[in-house]
Amino acid sequence: MWVYKIYLAGWGTHSPLDLNNPEHKIYFTNQKISEIFPNGTTEPVTLYTHYIGATNVSLKNNKNEINKGMNGEATVPGAEIIKIDRDEEGRLTRVKVKYDDSKEFYSLRLEAIMEMDKNTALISWMNPGGIFSNSGQDWGSIAVGAPYTHVDFNISIDERVEMAKEMRLLFKSYSFKHQLAGGELSSGRVVYKRLSNTIAVNDPVNTAVNTREQDGSGSDLTEFSNKLIIRTSIRNDGNPNYHTRGAKPEQVFEDMEIYTDDSNFFKIPKAVAEEIADDNKEPIKIMGNINGLVRPAGSDNPIPTIHAQDLLIDFTKVLEVKFDKNFPEGTETVLSTVNVEKNATINNDDLTDESMPASPTEFVQDGKKYTFKEWNTKADGTGTAFTGDTVVTEDMIVYAQWQKEENPDVPVDPVVPLVPVAPQEPSPSGNLIPMGYVFDSDKKVVESHTPFIFGYPDGLVKPEASITRGETAAIFARLMGMEKGEDHTTTYSDIRGNEWYANYIGYLEKKDIIKGYPDGTFRAEEKITRAEYAKIASKFAKSVGVKGFPDIEDHWAKAAIEQVVAEGWILGYPDGTYKPDRNITRAEAVKITNPIFQRYPDKVYIDKNEREMPYFNDLSNGHWAYFELMEAAQGHDYSRNADGSETWIKVNN
C-alpha cells in the first residue's frame, strides 16, 4: 500500500493557499488569535488548514541577487556617486563613482541574497519528519559533492579588489545555517574551514562567519584568489518542536542573506580606480551564483544554478570647462563653469544638471554691434572650435568668439531732457497732493522667475519621462526659497548627507512638506507617483476637496488628490480616472507646480520670441505642456497683471 505523508503547516486565509500571492496569508498553529487580529474583527473569519508534503521537494523558483535594495552610496560608502544603472528587474548592475585623488582606497560593501520561493522557505523551515536530515553523514568538503541537503553561495570578486586577510561575514536565515566557509586558491585547489554549528533554535539569526583563516589541516586560507564560498544546510535537523518556537511567517519568508558589516573588508586601491577613470579600463566586476542539492527521503535533486546579476563598479574623473565671454578688458568675463566626465562630451556623459550654457548675448562697443559666433579653445580664435560634442580630456577654458556686424553704426538714443511737473492745486476734498511729484497708479513692479527644471546633456528635456523623489524635493525646495549653501540634515536612514539631494530633503522635512516610508527611509532615487506628488502639492492648497475619480475611492492619497483637483492644479485622464499609482511625468509635474508658485507663462511673448527660448530636440510648440515647460525652464523678468497672469519683459540667460 502506498502512503503519502502530509504535515500541517498552519492556517491559511484561502483554499487552496498560494503563498506567493501577496493577498494569501498563513498563520502558524502557535500564534495567538490576539496576535493575528490585534484590533479584533467585526465579521466572521474563516481560516483553512494548509498541509505540506514530504516528497517531491526541490529548491525552485528562487532568485539570487547581489546588493539587493542597495543604492550606489551603500555599495561604495563615502564616495560620490555619478550614476547607478539597474536592469529590467530593478537589480543594481553598475555604480559609477567620481574619482577622488585624496582617497587612498575605496571601500566596497557586498551582500548576496537568495530570495526564496515561499513554499520552499516554509518546508525548509519546518523540515517535516526530518526528511532533510543532515546528521551522521560524511560532510566532505566544499571541493566535492556532499550527501546532504545544502545550498552554496559563491561570490567571485574582481582580482583587483584587495580582500582583508581575516574578515567577518554575517549569515541570516530562519531556515538554513552556515556549515562551511571556503575559497579557491590560485592553484585551483579549494580549501575550507568547518564552522561551528552549536546554535539553538531561538538564537539570533545573524551568525558571524570567520573566513580566510587556517582550517584543521593547516591550509592557509589567506592564499585565496578572490572567490568566497559559504555552504549552508538545513537549520532544523528533524527537531519536531523546532517550528513551534522562534519565528513568525513573515520572518520565515525573509531572504537568505550573506553580507559584510564592515566596509573595510573589501577595498579598491587608488591606483586601480585611477587607471579605470583615466584609461577606460574594464570596471571592477562582482559575480555570484547559488547551487547545491536537495535530498529528501534519500533522493538527490540538484539545485539548478541560480546566477546573480553582474555588478560593475566604474570610476570616472570629473573635469571643468570654463566658458569665458571674452569681453573687452575691465568687464566680467566668466560666463559659467560646466563639469564633464573625462574622455566624454558635455552632451553625452552621465552628469546630471550639466549642459552647454546659453550663448552670451550681443554687445555694443564704439557704436558697433557684435554677435556671438562660437566657442574656441584660444582667446584669439586660432584654436579649435568647442561644442557640446567635443571630447574633453583635461580641465580647460574656452572663449567666446565675436563677429562684428557690417551694418551702419548703431545709433545711440538721444537723452530726453526732464520735463518739469506743473504744481497741483489742492483737491476739493482737502487732500493735498505734494507739489513736484506725479503718482503713477499703473506702474508695474518688475520681478524675476528662475528656472527649476533643466534639459539633459543630449539636448532633450524628456517631458514624458518620470522624475524621482529626490528630484521632486529639489524642485520644491528651490521654489520655496532655499538658498545655495544652506545645510539641512534629515532623519531618513537612507540619506547619508553627501548625496546631491540631501539638503533639499532635509529642508522640506523641517517644513513638514514631505514624508518618508514607515521603515524610516525616503528612497530618493525611486520614481514618484501621481499620488505622492499630489500629497506634496496639497500642502500648499487651501480649497476643500471635491470628489471626482472612481479609481481613488480607497486610495491612501484620496483627500490630497481631491484637494489639489479643487485648486485646479491637476486634471485626470480622458477616461475619467486619475491613475494615482502611475509615475508622474516631468510635464505633468511642471503643470502642477507652476500655479502653486504663481508661475503663468506669457504665451504671446513666448510665441513672438521663440528664438530666445531654450531649444529641446524632443519638444515642439504643439506639445500640450510646451508653454508650461518654457515657464519652468526659462528665467525671465515679468510684471504681474491684475488677473494674476504675467507679462514677460525679457528673458534671462
pLDDT digits (tens, 9 = 90+) for 440-456: 445 568 899 989 888 87
Domain count, the chain: 4
Q: What is the pLDDT of residue 588?
A: 92
Q: Are residues 470 and 397 in the same domain?
A: no
237-243, Cβ contacts within 8 angstroms, sequence gap of 24 or more: 237/127, 237/130, 237/132, 237/133, 237/134, 237/135, 238/127, 238/129, 238/130, 238/132, 238/133, 238/135, 239/127, 239/130, 239/201, 240/130, 242/125, 242/126, 242/127, 242/201, 243/28, 243/125, 243/126, 243/127
Q: What is the pLDDT of residue 427?
A: 35
Q: What is the pLDDT of residue 47?
A: 92
The CATH number linked to 357 is 2.60.40.4270
Residue 151 or residue 409, greater confidence = 151
Q: What is the pLDDT of residue 24?
A: 93
Q: Report residue 139's pLDDT band, with 50, 70 and 90 as the boundaries.
A: very low
pLDDT at 413 over 70: no
Q: Are residues 279 and 391 in the same domain?
A: no
Q: What is the pLDDT of residue 138?
A: 44
Cα(216)–Cα(214) distance, integer angstroms: 7
Q: What is the pLDDT of residue 396?
A: 94
Return the percentage of the chain with pLDDT > 70, whole number.
75
Q: Are residues 467 and 582 in the same domain?
A: yes
DSSP H helices in 20-68: 33-36
Residue at a domain's end among 269, 293, 316: 316
Residue 138 or residue 95, greater confidence = 95
Q: Which has the minimum average pLDDT: 166-180, 308-322, 349-363?
A: 166-180
Cα(291)–Cα(155) distance, integer angstroms: 12
The tally of CA atoms less than 13 A away on the side-chain side of residue 464 is 4
| Residues with Cβ within 8 Å of residue 288, at least 6 apart in sequence | 64, 66, 112, 153, 154, 155, 156, 307, 308
Cα(510)–Cα(504) distance, integer angstroms: 10
- Before 16, cis peptide (omega within 30)? yes
Average pLDDT, the chain: 78
Q: What is the pLDDT of residue 193?
A: 60
Q: Are residues 336 and 464 in the same domain?
A: no
Q: What is the pLDDT of residue 284?
A: 93
Q: Are residues 199 and 297 in the same domain?
A: yes
Q: Are residues 155 and 232 in the same domain?
A: yes
Structural domain span for residue 44: 6-53
The verdict on residue 347 lying in a domain is yes
Q: What is the pLDDT of residue 257?
A: 83
Q: Report residue 237's pLDDT band, with 50, 70 and 90 as the boundaries.
A: low
Residue 164 or residue 351, greater confidence = 351
Q: What is the pLDDT of residue 431?
A: 38
Q: Report residue 151's pLDDT band, with 50, 70 and 90 as the boundaries.
A: confident
Q: Report residue 101's pLDDT band, with 50, 70 and 90 as the boundaries.
A: very high
Residue 641, all three cell numbers? 497683471
Q: Are residues 508 and 373 in the same domain?
A: no
The verdict on residue 91 lying in a domain is yes
Q: Per DSSP, which regions of 116-166 are E strands?
A: 150-157, 162-163
Average pLDDT over residues 119-139: 66
| Amino acid at residue number 609 | N
Count of other CB atoms within 10 angstroms of residue 530: 24
530-538 helix and 558-567 helix, angle to the nearest 10 degrees:
70
The verdict on residue 184 lying in a domain is yes
Average pLDDT over residues 28-37: 84
The verdict on residue 25 lying in a domain is yes
| Amino acid at residue number 363 | F
Look at residues 275, 253, 260 and name the one whose alpha carbon lies nearest to residue 211.
Answer: 260
Q: Report residue 316's pLDDT band, with 50, 70 and 90 as the boundaries.
A: very high
Backbone angles phi, psi at 275, to 5 degrees: -65, -40
The verdict on residue 418 lying in a domain is no
Residue 418, all three cell numbers? 526732464
Cα(514)–Cα(528) distance, integer angstroms: 12
110, 67 Cβ separation under 8 angstroms:
yes
Average pLDDT over residues 36-41: 84
Q: Are residues 298 and 354 in the same domain?
A: no
The verdict on residue 373 lying in a domain is yes
Q: Which has the minimum average pLDDT: 50-64, 85-99, 444-458?
A: 50-64
Look at residues 122, 138, 135, 146 and name the one whose alpha carbon lies nearest to residue 300.
Answer: 146
Q: Are residues 310 and 328 in the same domain?
A: no
Bridge partners for 112 per DSSP: 66, 258
Q: Are residues 39 and 69 in the same domain?
A: no
pLDDT at 394 over 90: yes
pLDDT at 221 over 90: no
Instruction: Dump pLDDT digits (tens) for 281-304.
Output: 899 998 887 776 665 655 666 667
Q: Are residues 154 and 212 in the same domain?
A: yes
Q: Per DSSP, which regions of 380-433 are E strands?
A: 385-386, 396-404
The verdict on residue 223 lying in a domain is yes
Q: What is the pLDDT of residue 628?
A: 93
The verdict on residue 85 lying in a domain is yes
Mean pLDDT is highest, among 78-92, 213-227, 320-334, 431-445, for: 78-92
Q: Are residues 101 and 204 in the same domain?
A: yes
Q: Which has the minimum average pLDDT: 190-199, 386-395, 571-580?
A: 190-199
Look at residues 153, 145, 176, 154 and name the one whose alpha carbon lies nearest to residue 300.
Answer: 145
Return the percentage of the chain with pLDDT > 90, whole number.
27
Residue at a domain's end among 271, 294, 316: 316
3-state secondary structure 463-486: CCCECEHHHHHHHHHHHCCCCCCC
Instruction: Dump pLDDT digits (tens) for 534-551.
Output: 999 999 988 777 777 888
Q: What is the pLDDT of residue 595?
A: 93
Q: Rounded to two decimals, what is the model's pTM? A: 0.56
Look at residues 470, 539, 536, 461 and name the one whose alpha carbon lies nearest to residue 504.
Answer: 470
